[in-house]
């Protein structure tokens, strides 16, 4: 007894999803075939459409279906400020805060020597060209506050400062609503060092 070959092919293909092993892939395949063929057909269409249409913005490197993304084309935005983020998801989060009106550069990753991701994989040459176009005056580094995100921010900061640009980093400190008892010591130490006069 064995599965029909198209089901085996589907199981094998589903293993390309991040974090899905052989058992989960088989369970997902059975689920789709038994309970949600409509969903499976929808996913098939969505995947092929996205593969065909989605590309990277020539200016900020985010996902777009056009040569230049909507954000970069928006003339209402302050082109002197450039915010560097790791992913489009991070960009969305910052946009939701309504605190930044400049433009973005999306790295689509972070420096990670262990995974073999170096400056070239992050298109840092594209970022440097963008930052030194004569319009940008300040680069705001908004990579994650993980070890890799910090290292990435440090690397970019060093590279851009030698070119005479103003480079800043999102503030670190106690989260809004945070109770000191439950915040880790490293965060409190940083908040103490960076304390501000009121």
Query: For residues 40 and 79, which CB has a smaller minimum distance to a copy of itself in the complex?
Result: 40
Query: For residues 49 and 133, which CB has a smaller minimum distance to a copy of itself in the complex?
Result: 49
Query: For residues 64 and 191, which CB has a smaller minimum distance to a copy of itself in the complex?
Result: 64
CA angle 45, 50, 53 (to 5 degrees): 120
Query: For residues 9 and 145, which CB has a smaller minimum distance to a copy of itself in the complex?
Result: 9
Q: Which residues bind a copy of itself (CB under 8 A)?
A: 1-7, 9-10, 12-14, 16-18, 26-34, 36-37, 39-54, 63-66, 69-71, 87-89, 91-92, 95, 104, 108-109
What 3-state class would DSSP assign to 55? Answer: strand
CA distances from 142 to 8, 15, 57, 82, 177 (A): 43, 32, 19, 10, 21
State in angstroms the smallest separation of the CB of 154 from a copy of itself: 23
State in angstroms the smallest separation of the CB of 107 from a copy of itself: 11
The rounded distance, in Å, linking the Cα atoms of 10 and 25 is 8
Q: Which two tokens stand for residue 175?
A: 């989260």
């Amino acid at each position: 007894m064995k599965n029909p070959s198209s089901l085996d092919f589907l199981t094998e293909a589903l293993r390309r999803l991040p974090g899905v092993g052989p058992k989960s892939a088989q369970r997902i395949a059975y689920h789709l075939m038994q309970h949600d063929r409509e969903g499976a057909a929808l996913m098939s269409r969505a995947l092929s459409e996205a593969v065909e249409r989605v590309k990277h913005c020539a200016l900020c490197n985010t996902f777009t279906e056009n040569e230049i993304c909507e954000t970069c084309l928006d003339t209402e935005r302050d082109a002197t400020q450039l915010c560097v983020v790791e992913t489009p998801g991070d960009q969305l989060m910052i946009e939701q805060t309504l605190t930044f009106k400049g433009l973005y550069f999306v790295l689509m990753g972070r420096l990670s020597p262990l995974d073999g991701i170096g400056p070239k994989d992050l298109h840092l040459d594209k970022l440097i060209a963008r930052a030194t176009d004569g319009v940008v005056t300040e680069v705001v580094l908004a990579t994650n506050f993980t070890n890799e995100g910090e290292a990435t921010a440090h690397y970019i900061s060093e590279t851009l400062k030698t070119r005479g640009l103003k480079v800043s980093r999102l503030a670190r400190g106690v989260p809004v609503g945070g109770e000191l008892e439950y915040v880790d010591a490293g965060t409190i130490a940083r908040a103490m060092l960076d304390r501000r006069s009121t």
